[in-house]
Amino acid sequence: MTGSRAAQAVMEGQVVFPNEHQGVSAMWGDGVSVLPAATTPLAPAVDGRPADRAKRPVMIAVLPAAGVGHCARVNVAFSTNGRWGVCLRADDEDLTLEHWTLASEEAVCRTVPEVAVDRRTHPLPLDDGRVLLLRGKGTSKAGRYACTLLRPGERGILKQRLADIPGLGAYLVPSHNSGRLGFLVTIDDPEHSTIWRLSTSPPHIELIMRIPGSLSGGMWLDGDESILAVNQSVDGCRSRGIAVDLSQRSWRGIWSISDASIDRIVLASSRSKLVVGTTDSAGEERLGWTRLGDSTVRFPEILHRAGCVRHALALDEPGEQLLMCEVAEAVSRLLVYRPADDRLTPIASPPGVVSTPASWAGDLVRLRFSAPHQPPTLATVRLGAKGRDEQLRAVVDN
């Protein structure tokens, strides 16, 4: 599609904060304290359209400012089933691995001080609670990446070294299959990337295929984990979304609006075949969507609002609803979009900033939240609660 045609074509929630200081046990555990919450109704309208009043009022609990430490959380990641989360907690110059148990509404945090981490460490929780740890070392021109598997044992954390390979960059791709650890993508040089399969059995890492360009992202397009959606950057400028067939060792373009634009896939569902992406072909970044196999890419006007930046955060499990955030100055607003009827519903939230990543499992959404009185932490939003009065609880310091 040419640039001009592309530009024309593009023209009851609850919030829960987890306990900050649950000790330094290396074993994944539980134990929380709670605080009743206040009630806030849904916003009356969104972009001039009436809000969906069928949903229950939004319940909001905000962690009190008193007792909150000055810390930051970076490199946040969630397991694909939404039951686990990890991040690096920074207290001044000290970095500590944090492991979150998210099996219920009451999130539980544990620090793991015996695992050495730095700002080039990227953790990824698996669906069974184990953690993959990718740690960069060396320089940007001659770097290496060590991949380690962590799991709790009777006497502490057990560590299994899986790989140590060179690369200008690297990142992990989670597996939906409980029998697999996951995948590793390395940026070999500005013109090539490699996809590897990880395993607990020797040799622990298996080369699958090498692809031209620099890759980023990774979302499964099928339940068998044979087709992976990634973004391919060529010549360091334009980007497009491609589908990589790992079984056939081939790839094809699936998200490319014009030859000169930066087009990226940001979310995809293997169940509904919904693909959500962005493009700047109209001069500013816009959100759009399509279905895998459909030749039509849609950029609904309701997803665009002048003067605001909107980001896709997560898809629900069926892949039929999109959670978004709208950022204006230093305040985020949560929105839920339904492609089936092109409807956008606002979700009330406390003043602050929401950022990626996010996880949507069942009716619980986990995301990163910060505010002037609240250092970056994990928040839980309950969407679509119905049928009974539920007490919203915020986990606070003991």
- We report the CATH number of the domain holding residue 346 as 2.130.10.120
Domain that holds residue 303: 3-382
Within a domain: 124: yes
Mean pLDDT of 175-184: 87
Task: Return the closest-CA partner of residue 63 out of 326, 390, 393.
Answer: 393
pLDDT of residue 259: 86
Within a domain: 398: no
Report the mean per-residue pLDDT for the chain.
80
Per-residue pLDDT of 24-62, as tens digits, reads 233 443 322 222 222 233 333 333 334 443 343 333 333
Position 148, amino acid: T
Within a domain: 51: yes
Per-residue pLDDT of 69-80, as tens digits, reads 567 889 999 999
Within a domain: 345: yes
**Total domain count, the chain:** 1
pLDDT of residue 70: 62
For the record, the structure tokens of 96 come out as 């500590």
Instruction: Round to whole Å and give the CA distance between 85 and 345.
Output: 27
Per-residue pLDDT of 86-129, as tens digits, reads 999 988 778 999 999 998 888 889 999 999 999 999 999 999 99
Within a domain: 240: yes
CA angle 340, 327, 361 (to 5 degrees): 50
| End-to-end CA separation in angstroms for the chain | 58
Within a domain: 395: no
DSSP string, 69-106: ---EEEEEEE-TTSSEEEEEEEETTEEEEEEEE-SSSS
For residue 8, what is the enclosing H or E element?
A: helix 3-10
How would you classify the pairing of strands 45-46 and 374-382?
unpaired
Residue 9 sits at φ, ψ, to 5 deg, of -70, -25
Task: Return the closest-CA partner of residue 43 out of 353, 346, 383, 308.
Answer: 346
Within a domain: 388: no
Within a domain: 390: no
Instruction: Round to whole Å and give the CA distance between 380 and 23.
Output: 21
Residue identified by tokens 């609850």 is 14
Instruction: Round to whole Å and give the CA distance between 310 and 247.
Output: 35
